[in-house]
Amino acid sequence: MNSKAKKEIREATTEELSVLLNDLNEKPFRLQQIHEWLWMKWARSFDAMTNLSKNLREELALRYEFRAITVDHTQQSSDGTIKVRFKTFDGHFIEGVLIPTTDRLTACISSQIGCSLTCRFCATGKMKRVRNLFHYEIFDQVAILQEIAEKNFSKRLSNIVYMGMGEPLLNYNNVLRSIDKITSPKGMAMSPSRITVSTSGITKQIRELADEKVKFNLAISLHAADNAKRSKMMPINDTNTLEELIDSLDYFYKKTGTAITYEYILFQDVNDSETDAANLVKLCRRIPSKVNLIEYNTVEDVPYQKAGHESLDKFITYLQKNRVNVRVRRSRGKDIDAACGQLANKNN
């Protein structure tokens, strides 16, 4: 059988596998065993399915294939952060990051190979989008980072953030399918409240998430609370303006009851003034929300600079005086280009 004609086994439906097992005179319980290997034991090869007969594994391999991602390169930062470069079945590279803190162990995963949004401050935004990741490729990242977490820190992941390479809501179906497998009791069984999807603000898809009443958290890559500044940094704002974005977020909150997180990188003399803070306060009053102020990480050939400590302190003070729930998210993994905005598949 031509390999190109084979389906990825994790795309096979329950009905398809049931018919195949029946044709092979296999017992019905084999279906459950296959499911457990794929989604609960995270098998990435047929040989790993050790409680299936050799004959059944060979029959499955004749009809299906694994397009599993593999680990191409791993780096560990001085702060414990681990960056993994993954290789896809068709030879492309993506990156994921394992971030340990005192109370959390977070996997930051990618949703696309490259990105099409060209945000001016982001290394990934300088790459072309090659393609969307399939749901099982997103799942594989989590599974591999889970294995690395257990090996290096002797504990399981506490959180998953879709904040790696790509815009998750431009890979809507695969992202939601991956979350379904990650949160399913017949999958990784992680609570959706421990998953955050970060978007630059694709308003149509935010409304779709609301209609589906999703249970995971939504973070908005904001970085400016006025249209002129935001469009200059993030061209997506030209077609998804702040007014449209806030309307969609209001709709999302009313449908789901989940507060919004705004991610805001402070850039020196760009978006760190008191006027910028006042605009952000006005925006935050529209919908229950919190603000993560993010330390900027230098990206080669990008003109933006990190705001100084004085600007940061003034900005935080202004937000707190106006009762905005704000915290500073310190960068992790900067020394291995694993911090926010730095993922770009550089040669190591």
278 exposed, middle or buried (CB, 10 Å; 0-12, 13-18, 19+)?
Answer: middle
**CB atoms closer than 10 angstroms to residue 242:** 18
Residue 165's nearest CA partner among 128, 190, 192, 191 is 128
Long-range contacts: 200-204, Cβ < 8 Å, 24+? Answer: 200/117, 200/119, 200/167, 200/234, 200/236, 200/240, 201/236, 201/237, 201/240, 201/245, 201/248, 202/167, 202/169, 202/170, 202/236, 202/240, 203/240, 203/244, 203/245, 203/247, 203/248, 204/248
Which of 115, 119, 284, 340 is an active site residue?
Answer: 340
Query: For the purposes of burial, counting CB atoms within 10 Å of the CB of 312, is it exposed (0-12), middle (13-18) or buried (19 or more)?
Result: middle
Provide the 8-state DSSP code for 270: T
Check 95, 137, 167, 263 and give the catalytic one: 95
What's the DSSP call for residue 134?
P
CA 267, 270, 274: angle at the middle one, nearest 5?
95
| Catalytic status, residue 95 | yes
66-94 in b/e form (b: 16+ CB < 10 A) is: bbbbeeeeebbbebebbbbbbebeeebbb
- Going by C-beta distance under 8 Å and a sequence separation of 6 or more, which residues neighbour residue 172? 205, 208
122 given a catalytic annotation: no
- Residues serving a catalytic function are 95, 340
